[in-house]
Amino acid sequence: MKVHELRPAEGSTRPRRRVGRGIAGKGGKTAGRGTKGQKARNTMKAGFEGGQLPLAQRVPKLKGFKNPFRVEYNVVNLDALAGLDTDRVTPDTLRTAGLVHKHGLVKVLGRGELGRKVSVEAHAVSKSAEAAITGAGGTVTILPMPFGNGRPPAKGNQHTNR
């Protein structure tokens, strides 16, 4: 049996009652709305609660805070660097190897071990990764941020003139 073959049991569903179709039988005349008043005249806004502040306005709209100046890095660990066959690691070599995304900043983290001398150029390096690279005889060069020394441009406002 498949989902599109599912049907309710025979006799378990009934057609909905159509009210307000003349005075004969149930649901005629006032059609279950009582007599007179705003609610009887079909002028109630959905979610209206009298003078009370409606639930949709009482509940907070958003949770938390999203920092527009957050700096996001593409991370690479030492075990990935050990798998590369080059002695000079730059963001471009990591991109060609498919280890980081084509855009963004690169940060090297310290998971894994490095058994050979490697020259690493990245936008950021963790302390443990720097210790492991220099301990293996390599060098670490911190690249300048593309947005200068100040904070990065706000997300969504990339086209501002600075």
Per residue in 8-60, pLDDT (tens digit) is 999 999 998 888 888 887 888 888 888 888 888 878 888 888 889 999 899 88
How many structural domains comprise the chain? Answer: 1
Distances (CA, A) of 4 to 1, 7, 8, 15, 101: 8, 8, 12, 21, 41
Whether 104 is covered by a domain: the verdict is yes
Indicate the range of 37-46, 72-81, 137-146, 151-160 predicted with least confidence: 151-160
Q: pLDDT-derived band of residue 108, with 50, 70 and 90 as boundaries?
A: very high
Domain span at residue 135 reads 73-142
Does 97 fall in a domain? yes
Q: Is residue 21 part of a domain?
A: no
For residue 158, pLDDT beyond 60: no
Query: Is residue 25 in a domain?
Result: no
Place of tokens 């150029």: 121
CATH number at residue 133: 3.100.10.10
DSSP type of residue 35: S
Q: What would the 3-class secondary structure string for 17-33 be?
A: CCCCCCCCCCCCCCCCC
In a domain, 19, yes or no: no
Q: Of the candidates 104, 102, 103, 107, which has an alpha carbon nearest to the alpha carbon of residue 121?
A: 107
